[in-house]
Structures are given as structure tokens and as C-alpha cells.
Copies of this chain bind each other. A is one copy, B any other.
Amino acid sequence: MEFLWTSFEIVGTIAFAISGALVGVSRRMDIFGMLVLALATAIGGGIVRDILVGHFPPNSLQTGFYVLLTLAVTIAVFMVYRSKQDHHMSTRWVRRIYLTADTIGLASFTVTGTSVGVYAYPQYPIFCMILGILTAVGGGMIRDVLAQRVPSVLREEVYALPAIIGSAVYYVFGYDGAWLYASYGSFITVFLIRTAAIRYEWSLPRVY
């Protein structure tokens, strides 16, 4: 179970590091700005999660592993991007990579966040779900606030919704100790809902 949790944490960190670094590229930042946004996205959500359960120092900062991983991913994004000559052609492709990485990060951190809640406070379902949702959307929110963008969670029609449903899925299975079903079920739920929402341009009701 420990191994499973760490796998999702690593996958989420890599995915969100890519999404953060790409936002840095799109803002024409230097490699350092890219790194700051990558760190905010990849590690921010986990820090929020660990603060809310009172776990200090936060898991993602303690050993430095996740920081160095994010650093490596940022350098890789920088190198790949630089090696391409024709940027204009690839804009649409870059956007697709960004959205896929962001969705994988969202799904992975829904799993790890809800899981921390179910482990420590199984008696509070809403709190477990909120932990999952905040872990999933928190890093992206910090990234967007720093980069002066309206956060995805406010801009995109269906962004937090998949994390909400995914965290509920995790709670239902995880409460009975079915970690494997909980983790993969939750991950796949989040991934499919958001991918479908982007693909078919789902939207939610609004006042005007």
C-alpha cells in the first residue's frame, strides 16, 4: 500500500512539474521561472494537504526527492523545447501535452490526498474528500496565482468536478480497505471525466 501511494505521488509530481514548466514557457520565463512554477504545481498541493492534517515537515519537502525530481523534469522540458526549431507548428501539440499532464496530475493527487484523509480520519468523509480535492487542485491554483492567470478551477468548466467524484470513489472503496480498487478506480474516474469534458466541451449552468 505504501508502494502504491508513493507511485501515485511520483506520477503526479512528474505530471504537474511538466504542466507548471509549460506554463512558464508560455509566459516566456527563464529556466528559473519555469522551475518555480513547476515546484509550485508539483509540490504545492501536497504541502497544502500535509499542513491540513498537521504533518510537519510536509512529505514532499522532507527528503528533497520530490524537489530534485521536479528540477530534473523542468530541465528536461527546457531541453526538449529548445531542441525544437519550429515552435509555431507545435503550439497545438504543446497544449495537448499540457492538458494531458495536468489531468494525470489531477487524478494522481486526488488519489494521494484522499488516501491520507482516509488513513488518518476515516470518520470524516467530507474532510477526506476535501483533502483529495485540495491536493489535486491546490498546486495548480498556486501556479496560476503566481503566473497571474485566473485559476483553472475558476476558468475551466469541469476541473474540480472530476476530483470531487474521484475522491468520493476513493472514499467508498478505501473505507473498507480496498486500496487497490480505491486508487485505480479513483484515478481512472478523474482521468476519464476530465478528458471527456475537454473533448466534448462540457459546461455547467451559470446565472447569465
Q: Measuring CB to CB, which residues of chain A are less than 8 angstroms from any residue of chain B?
A: 24-25, 27-33, 36-37, 47, 51-54, 56-58, 61-64, 67-68, 78, 81-82, 87, 121, 124-127, 130, 141, 145-148, 150-151, 153-155, 157-161, 203-208
Closest B residue to A82 using CB positions: B207
Q: How far is the CA of A204 from the CA of B159 in the complex (A)?
A: 34
In contact, A148 and B146 (Cβ under 8 angstroms): no
Closest B residue to A149 using CB positions: B148
Q: Which residues of B contact A82 (CB under 8 A)?
A: 207
Name the one of B30, B58, B125 contacting A206, with C-beta atoms under 8 angstroms. Answer: B30
A18 CB, nearest partner CB in chain B, Å: 14
In contact, B62 and A124 (Cβ under 8 angstroms): yes
Name the one of B32, B81, B121, B205 contacting A30, with C-beta atoms under 8 angstroms. Answer: B205
In contact, A56 and B57 (Cβ under 8 angstroms): no
- Given A31-B206, A145-B145, A208-B28, are A126 and B56 also a contact pair (CB < 8 Å)? no
